[in-house]
Every structure is written in structure tokens, then in C-alpha cells.
């Protein structure tokens, strides 16, 4: 089958929205399909959003592909006779973040009407899809609530899961993701201040903001944590990541209100490492059942420090929860065979 | 610096344009520049569709980009302040089609207005570009004709110059079979009939059109040239091609679009080039009798040129060395090309 993968993107930025497409493409090829990926540049500018959406909608894809799979918005508005939407999030400022500080627009009649039109356009585009999937239950629930669309949750696996392995449950907690304020690396560092064991923390990831990176450096220095917190501000290689996780005590992933469980959680589970998260992390608890396949703490340094110490002193607990996290992958069918089967049926 | 390369795609087609796009991005990364290519689907078959496509590309917005390099219509219409247009091939569907209609006396007002809209947008876009280059003489000539602009020519360089070395001289003339029209190859085969027996021609590469390729083989059989004209129609690897170029006496680049063919490989490997009087880039380098042979595209003239090249191994090697020197002075390499695009 000739399959087109269509998504929007900000040029030269890597991240989950890119990975879901880039990792799927070779798997579809392996399954015997012909695949072409189309990235369309896009910006979340309310003043030009509708014009951009119209451009997406006018693209002529019908004769080129037997099936089109769309990802990041507004790719779902493209037209195709067999359109599969794997919906990863709304343009959230007009949806669940409308009433929050993340939405800088005034709540005037103009923008209220604008929001209604956007919702109508999204609903229309989703209605005409052959099938709608979401990457998490949270997003599925939002689609239901805002657009009245029934979608199936299809959890995205990671690249080459077979690479991950477990060597030991060591003394270091791994925080591997982009270094950004809403990923809350600072919260993990603050927790380290309150720990009473020699537990260590390793933060790996690239930072787009020099300011936040400096803030983290200062935080570590201020609390005298240089000997126990490693701040490695690089996009580490896949090999390094596999190696780090193989001997980690556990992983930690504490974003603020994320749309899905996050790839770091899955990568840790593949290495039989449990993930520590917090109750306001959004989609992460979809994967983690507290005390069974991971730990969900309050978003508070002292509560997190307590979890760090508990795991350091009770390695068997880290091991059991790590194994359970690995089992959870199968429970939620987070593997490529399932994804390919659903997307091509 | 973040550089976005914008170009169009026909799904599942891979050709020279895709090769150049990939090389451009790869070579920029080698220079430490953050680069990515985005290829947007485009199908400008009908005049009405052309207007839609222009609207699509004019409506897209860019963020996190310092420079844009656009490689063709309508990708160059994506608005951006700091943009280089490197027109590798013009878009005949939006010009020639209307010319054809005109020639047939069927010029519709609607089509004419579409053509005018296309050209108007082109001109506005080219004039607002920071850099404007044509990928070949043919493109430059077309831009002069339709837009009244004469951009510098910037050739897409070889991606693998290190492969092409003069490794010997097995006394044959090499011609590329990977060209769209077979007329020039047919002329070369006819010219072979006029050459003393013993002289050889090798036609290498996967032809674009299998029927025409069979026609050429048939022509060789009928002329009784089987032992002297060899076809290598495998999809030759670059290494395989480099071996053929490296051991040739000379390379023939006599097709209609002289900026295609193997002339860069030939100059790189210090081989003299046989070319025809034309407007191509190779004619800038081929000084008749010094770096190669330039001739009329007739059977007799081609035969005379081939005799001249095949007559003396020493003379051919001298011409090849001179051509190589001239070629190097033109600096058709990726770092120099990228520097000009981002200037």
C-alpha cells in the first residue's frame, strides 16, 4: 500500500511530534508498504492559522496515496479519501488551555467566535476521517469533550525497543528529556536537597533556553549538590541513553500537564526501570499505576525526596516496580505490531 | 544558523532534484550549519490547479529559521525575508503550455491570465529574494525570456568528486545512457560507422526510456557495430561509473541539455569532453582543441571529433589535464556553492 505520512512541524526542532512519524515510517516499510513523509512548516499564530489550515486543506494528495496518516495539527485537515488521523494534541490554547495563563488572547467576542470556528473546522476534518486514533486517553477524552469525536487510543512505541536492556538497579535516577521549564528539572534538583541517602540524579538533555540552563546550574551550586547531581546538557546519543538506563536505579519524568505518558517513561520501562512521576504531570499516570508500575508523588520537593530515598534503600522495590513497568508495555499494547495492524486495517 | 531548504515533491519519485536536495542538506551539516529540507507535494497540471498551488505555498508560515533556500516553483513562494532562490529547473507546465496553446491559435483569456499571474508572482518573488541563481544555462535562458532577469548560474556540484580519478586509458569514448532524449546517442552511433574499425564507444547507465534504449541497440546491430559499441545498462553504482570514466579516452556530452550528462565527472577525472556547439556550461570549459572538442551536432562532424580524440592518447591526456585545471578554477564544489547561497 502507498502510504503518506503528513504532519506539521517547526523546522529544525526535534521532539515527540517528529519521533512518532520518523519512527513509524521504517516500521511501515518493514511491513511491506511504500511510505513517503511530508512535513509541512506551520506556526501557531492565531492571525494566520486559518489561512495556513486552508493551505493544508488544498493540498492534492488523493491520487498519490492509497492512505494518508496525519499527526500534529493542523495536518488532520488535509483531504484524502482514506484519511487516518493519529491525533497527538489540539492547538491547546483554543481548547483545554483556553481559560488558563497559557492563552494570551483576550476572551472577547471575536476570539470566542474564532474559537468556535476552529472547533467546527477541526470537528469537520475529524468527522471525514476513515479512522481517528489518539496517542493517549487524555487526548481521546478531550476529542470527545470538545469535538464529540470517538477515537481509539493507540499508544506510540519508541524506536527499536529491542535495544533496551537491564544490567542492574544502581544508585542514580535518570531524567532524560529536553531541558525546559515545563519539564521541571528544577523540581528534581530541589528534591535532591532534601534527600538523606547518597542517591544521585542525572539530568540529560538539550536546553533551548540558556536562561533555564543557568538557573539549573545555579540551583545545583546553591544547594551544594555538585557531587550528586550531574547536569549533562546535551542531546545524548541513543547508545548513551540505552547504557544509562541499563544501570539506573529508576527514571523520573515530571512534566507539567503533558498530553501523554512521554517517551522517557516507555524507554525506562523497556530497560525494566520504573518511572517516578507527579500527580499533575498530565498523561504520565496513564502508564503508571502508583505503587505497582511506578510511583506517583505529590509535585513537591520533599515528597519526591522521600521517594528517591525509599528507592535507594529498597532496591528490591525498584526492581519489582521496574519489572511491572515492563509488563505494563504489553498490557497497553505499546508495540509496533499492534500499531501497524491498527493503522493499516 | 538554521537553514530550511524548501522544495516540492512528487510522492515516490526519486531523481536528480531529490539527490541535489539531499546533498545540499548533508553538505551544510558537514559545515556545521543546522539544515533541514521540507518537501511539499505539488501537482501543477492544470492552469486552475496552478493558482491553488500558488495560494498554498504563499500561505505557509515559517518559524525558527534564519535562512531559506528554495529550489523551485512554487516552493519559492513561501514568504520569508531572507531567502535564496536556486532555480534548478523551471516549471514549463506554467509557461510552455500556454505558449503551445498560443501557437495552436487556442489561447483562452483564462489561461493567459493564469500565466500572467504565475509570471507576476515569480518576478515579485525573485526580486525580493536575497540571492537568485539558475541551476543551468537552460534555466537562465528561460528566466531571461519570461522574467527579464539574468541570474548567475550556480551548478549543483558533484557529491562525490573524490571518486573520479584518471586511472588509465582503455581507448574508448564514454557517453551517458541516462538522458531523456536518445537522438544524440543515435548520432554518436551513426558517427561510429564512419570511424576506423577498432574504435569503441561505451554507453553507460540506466536509460530513462526502455523502448528507446532497445531502439539504440537495434541500430547498433543493423550497423554491424556490436563489437564496437557496448551498452552497460545496469543501474551503475557511482563507483562503477567512476571506473568507466576513469579508464575512458574521452567523454561525450552531446545531448540537448548539455548541463546534464557526465561532463563534471569527466573534468574531475581529467578526461577531455566531446560536446556540441550550444549554450551549456560545458561550453564554458571546453575550449576547442585545448580541453576537448566542440563540434556541430552532425554525424560527420561528430565523427571528426571522435577521430581527433581517439587518434592520440597523449593529446587526449593533455586536453584532459587542461580541462581539469579549468574546471577546478570554477570552484564548482559544495562549500563554495553553499557560501554563495547563504551570502
Q: Matching CATH topology for B2-156 and B161-329? A: yes
- Per the CB < 8 A criterion, the answer to whether B262 and B174 are in contact is yes
Neighboring chain B residues of A9 at a CB cutoff of 8 Å: 38
pLDDT (tens digit per residue) in A77-118: 999 999 999 999 999 999 999 998 889 999 999 999 999 999
CA–CA separation, B257 vs B92, rounded Å?
15
pLDDT (tens digit per residue) in B159-174: 899 999 999 999 999 9
pLDDT (tens digit per residue) in A25-73: 999 999 999 999 999 999 999 999 999 999 999 999 999 999 999 999 9
Contact B61 A52 (CB under 8 A): yes
| Chain A residue nearest residue B68, CA to CA | A11
Q: What is the pLDDT of residue B197?
A: 83
CA–CA separation, B164 vs B166, rounded Å?
7
Q: What is the pLDDT of residue B290?
A: 87
- Domain B161-329 fold is Rossmann fold (3.40.50)
Question: What sections of B194-312 are H helices per DSSP?
Answer: 210-222, 238-246, 263-268, 282-285, 299-311
Count the neighbouring beta carbons within 10 Å of the beta carbon of residue B13.
10
Count the neighbouring beta carbons within 10 Å of the beta carbon of residue B78.
23
Q: What is the pLDDT of residue B257?
A: 65
Contact A2 B11 (CB under 8 A): yes
pLDDT (tens digit per residue) in B235-291: 788 899 999 999 999 999 887 665 667 889 999 999 999 988 765 666 667 778 888
Q: What is the pLDDT of residue A284?
A: 95
Q: Is B218 left (phi over 0), alpha (psi -120 to 50) or beta?
A: alpha
Neighboring chain B residues of A51 at a CB cutoff of 8 Å: 59
- Per the CB < 8 A criterion, the answer to whether B294 and B277 are in contact is yes
Which of A55, A72, A208 should one mutate to test binding to chain B, selecting the residue with the greatest count of B CBs within 10 A?
A: A55
CA–CA separation, A25 vs B289, rounded Å?
53
- Per the CB < 8 A criterion, the answer to whether B33 and B27 are in contact is no
Q: How far apart are the first and last CA of chain A?
A: 11
Contact A59 B59 (CB under 8 A): no
Q: What is the pLDDT of residue B271?
A: 96
Q: What is the pLDDT of residue B31?
A: 96
Question: What confidence category does residue A335 fall into, taking pLDDT thresholds of 50, 70 and 90?
Answer: very high
- Per the CB < 8 A criterion, the answer to whether A63 and A4 are in contact is no
3-state secondary structure of B3: strand
Neighboring chain A residues of B4 at a CB cutoff of 8 Å: 11-12, 41
Predicted confidence (pLDDT) at residue B101 exceeds the cutoff of 70:
no
Question: What confidence category does residue B96 fall into, taking pLDDT thresholds of 50, 70 and 90?
Answer: low
Distance from CA of B63 to the nearest CA of A (A): 6
Contact B61 A65 (CB under 8 A): no
Question: What confidence category does residue B234 fall into, taking pLDDT thresholds of 50, 70 and 90?
Answer: confident
The angle formed by the CA atoms of residues B268, B272 and B275, to the nearest 5 degrees, is 110
- Domain B2-156 fold is Rossmann fold (3.40.50)
Query: Which residues 6+ apart lie within 8 Å of A110 measured at CB?
Result: none
pLDDT (tens digit per residue) in B70-82: 998 899 999 999 9
Count the neighbouring beta carbons within 10 Å of the beta carbon of residue A264.
25
Q: Which residues of B120-147 are buried (b: 16+ CB within 10 A; e: fewer)?
A: ebbeebbeebebbbbbbbbbbebbeebb
Tell me which residues of chain A have a C-beta less than 8 Å from any C-beta of chain B: 2, 4, 9-13, 34, 36, 38-43, 45, 48, 51-52, 54-55, 58-61, 63-65
Average pLDDT of span B188-214 = 86
Q: What is the pLDDT of residue B183?
A: 82
Distance from CA of A208 to the nearest CA of B (A): 11
CB pairs under 8 A between A and B: 79
Question: What confidence category does residue B118 fall into, taking pLDDT thresholds of 50, 70 and 90?
Answer: confident
The minimal CB distance from B40 to the residues A34, A40, A43 is found for A40
ipTM of the complex: 0.89
Q: What is the pLDDT of residue B104?
A: 62
3-state secondary structure of B157: coil
Report cis status (omega within 30 of 0) of the bond before B74. Answer: yes
Average pLDDT of span B75-90 = 92
Distance from CA of A118 to the nearest CA of B (A): 17
pLDDT (tens digit per residue) in A109-149: 999 999 999 999 999 999 999 999 999 999 999 999 999 99
CA–CA separation, A118 vs A95, rounded Å?
10
Helix, strand, coil percentages (3-state) for chain B, rounded to 5, are: 45, 15, 35
Distance from CA of A129 to the nearest CA of B (A): 20
Predicted confidence (pLDDT) at residue A338 exceeds the cutoff of 90:
yes
pLDDT (tens digit per residue) in A264-301: 999 999 999 999 999 999 999 999 999 999 999 999 99
Q: What is the pLDDT of residue B148?
A: 92
Question: What residue ranges do the domains of chain B occupy?
Answer: 2-156, 161-329
Contact B61 A42 (CB under 8 A): yes
Distance from CA of B275 to the nearest CA of A (A): 39
Which of B7, B53, B61, B77 should one mutate to test binding to chain A, selecting the residue with the greatest count of A CBs within 10 A?
A: B61
Phi, psi of B160 (to 5 degrees): -140, 55
Q: What is the pLDDT of residue B205?
A: 76
| Chain A residue nearest residue B79, CA to CA | A41
Q: How far apart are the first and last CA of chain B?
A: 12
Which of A1, A7, A11, A74 should one mutate to test binding to chain B, selecting the residue with the greatest count of B CBs within 10 A?
A: A11
The minimal CB distance from B38 to the residues A36, A41, A61 is found for A41
Distance from CA of A210 to the nearest CA of B (A): 16
The minimal CB distance from A55 to the residues B39, B43, B59 is found for B59
Neighboring chain A residues of B64 at a CB cutoff of 8 Å: 10-13
The angle formed by the CA atoms of residues B142, B185 and B238, to the nearest 5 degrees, is 85
Question: What confidence category does residue B304 fall into, taking pLDDT thresholds of 50, 70 and 90?
Answer: very high
Lowest mean pLDDT among A208-222, B102-116, B260-274, B298-312: B102-116
Count the neighbouring beta carbons within 10 Å of the beta carbon of residue A105.
14
% residues pLDDT > 90 (chain B): 58
Q: What is the pLDDT of residue B278?
A: 65
Query: Which residues 6+ apart lie within 8 Å of A48 measured at CB?
Result: B59, B61
Amino acid at each position: 500500500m502507498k502510504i503518506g505520512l503528513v504532519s506539521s512541524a517547526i523546522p529544525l526542532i526535534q521532539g515527540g511530534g517528529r519521533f512518532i512519524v520518523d519512527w513509524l515510517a521504517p516500521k511501515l516499510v518493514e511491513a511491506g508498504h511504500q511510505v513517503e513523509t511530508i512535513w509541512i512548516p506551520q506556526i501557531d499564530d492565531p492571525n494566520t492559522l486559518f489561512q495556513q489550515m486552508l493551505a493544508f486543506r488544498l493540498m492534492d494528495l488523493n491520487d498519490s496515496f492509497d492512505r494518508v496518516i496525519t499527526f500534529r495539527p493542523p495536518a488532520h485537515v488535509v483531504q484524502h479519501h482514506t484519511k487516518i488521523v493519529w491525533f497527538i494534541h489540539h492547538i491547546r490554547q483554543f481548547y483545554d488551555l483556553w481559560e488558563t495563563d497559557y492563552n494570551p488572547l483576550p476572551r472577547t467576542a471575536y476570539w470566542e467566535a474564532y474559537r468556535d470556528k476552529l472547533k467546527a473546522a477541526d470537528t469537520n476534518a475529524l468527522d471525514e476521517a476513515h479512522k481517528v486514533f489518539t496517542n493517549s486517553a487524555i487526548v481521546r477524552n478531550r476529542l470527545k469533550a470538545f469535538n464529540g469525536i470517538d477515537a481509539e487510543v493507540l499508544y506510540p512505541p519508541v524506536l527499536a525497543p529491542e535495544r533496551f536492556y537491564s544490567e542492574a538497579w544502581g544508585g542514580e535516577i535518570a531524567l532524560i528529556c529536553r531541558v525546559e521549564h515545563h519539564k521541571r528539572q528544577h523540581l528534581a534538583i530541589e528534591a535532591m536537597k532534601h534527600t538523606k541517602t547518597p542517591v544521585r540524579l542525572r539530568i540529560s538533555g538539550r536546553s533551548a533556553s540558556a536562561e533555564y540552563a543557568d538557573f539549573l546550574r545555579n540551583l545545583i551550586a546553591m544547594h551544594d549538590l555538585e557531587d550528586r547531581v550531574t547536569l549533562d546538557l546535551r542531546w545524548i546519543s541513543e547508545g548513551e541513553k540505552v547504557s544509562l538506563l541499563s544501570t539506573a536505579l529508576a527514571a523520573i519524568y515530571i512534566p507539567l500537564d503533558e498530553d501523554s505518558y512521554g517517551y522517557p517513561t516507555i524507554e525506562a520501562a523497556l530497560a525494566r526501570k520504573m518511572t517516578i512521576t507527579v500527580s499533575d504531570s498530565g498523561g504520565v499516570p496513564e502508564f503508571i499505576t502508583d505503587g505497582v508500575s511506578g510511583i506517583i508523588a505529590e509535585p513537591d520537593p520533599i515528597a519526591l525526596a522521600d521517594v528517591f530515598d525509599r528507592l535507594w534503600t529498597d532496591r528490591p522495590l525498584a526492581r519489582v516496580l521496574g519489572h511491572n513497568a515492563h509488563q505494563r508495555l504489553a498490557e497497553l499494547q505499546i508495540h509496533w505490531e499492534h500499531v501497524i495492524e491498527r493503522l493499516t486495517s | 544558523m538554521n537553514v530550511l531548504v524548501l522544495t516540492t515533491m512528487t510522492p515516490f519519485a526519486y531523481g536528480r532534484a531529490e539527490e541535489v536536495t539531499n546533498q545540499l542538506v548533508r553538505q551544510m551539516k558537514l559545515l556545521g550549519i543546522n539544515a533541514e529540507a521540507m518537501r511539499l507535494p505539488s501537482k501543477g497540471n492544470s492552469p486552475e490547479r496552478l493558482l491553488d498551488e500558488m495560494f498554498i505555498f504563499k500561505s505557509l508560515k515559517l518559524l525558527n529559521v534564519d535562512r531559506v533556500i528554495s529550489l523551485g516553483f512554487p516552493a519559492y513562494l513561501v514568504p520569508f525575508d531572507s531567502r535564496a532562490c536556486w532555480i534548478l529547473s523551471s516549471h514549463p507546465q506554467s509557461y510552455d503550455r500556454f505558449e503551445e496553446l498560443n501557437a495552436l491559435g487556442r489561447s483562452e483569456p483564462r489561461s493567459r491570465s493564469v500565466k500572467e499571474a504565475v509570471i507576476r508572482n515569480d518576478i515579485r518573488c525573485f526580486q525580493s529574494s536575497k540571492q537568485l541563481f539558475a541551476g543551468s544555462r537552460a534555466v537562465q535562458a528561460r528566466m531571461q525570456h519570461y522574467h527579464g532577469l539574468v541570474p548567475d548560474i550556480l551548478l549543483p556540484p558533484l557529491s562525490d568528486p573524490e571518486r573520479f580519478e584518471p586511472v588509465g586509458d582503455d581507448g574508448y569514448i564514454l557517453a551517458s545512457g541516462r538522458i531523456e532524449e536518445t537522438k544524440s546517442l543515435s548520432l554518436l552511433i551513426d558517427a561510429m560507422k564512419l570511424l576506423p574499425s577498432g574504435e569503441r564507444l561505451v554507453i553507460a547507465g540506466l536509460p530513462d526510456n526502455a523502448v528507446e534504449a532497445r531502439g539504440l541497440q537495434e541500430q547498433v546491430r543493423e550497423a554491424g557495430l556490436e563489437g564496437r559499441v557496448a551498452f552497460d545498462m545496469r543501474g551503475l553504482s557511482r563507483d562503477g561509473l567512476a571506473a568507466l570514466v576513469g579508464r575512458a579516452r574521452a567523454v561525450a556530452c552531446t545531448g540537448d541539455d548539455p548541463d546534464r550528462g557526465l561532463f563534471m565527472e569527466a573534468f574531475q577525472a581529467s578526461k577531455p569532453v566531446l560536446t556540441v556547439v550550444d549554450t551549456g556550461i560545458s561550453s564554458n570549459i571546453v575550449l576547442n582543441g585545448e580541453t576537448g572538442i566542440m563540434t556541430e551536432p552532425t554525424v560527420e562532424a561528430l565523427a571528426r571529433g571522435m577521430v581527433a580524440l581517439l587518434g592520440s592518447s597523449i593529446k587526449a591526456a593533455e586536453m584532459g589535464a587542461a580541462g581539469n585545471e579549468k574546471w577546478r578554477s570554477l570552484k564548482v564544489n559544495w562549500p563554495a556553492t553553499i557560501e554563495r547561497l547563504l551570502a
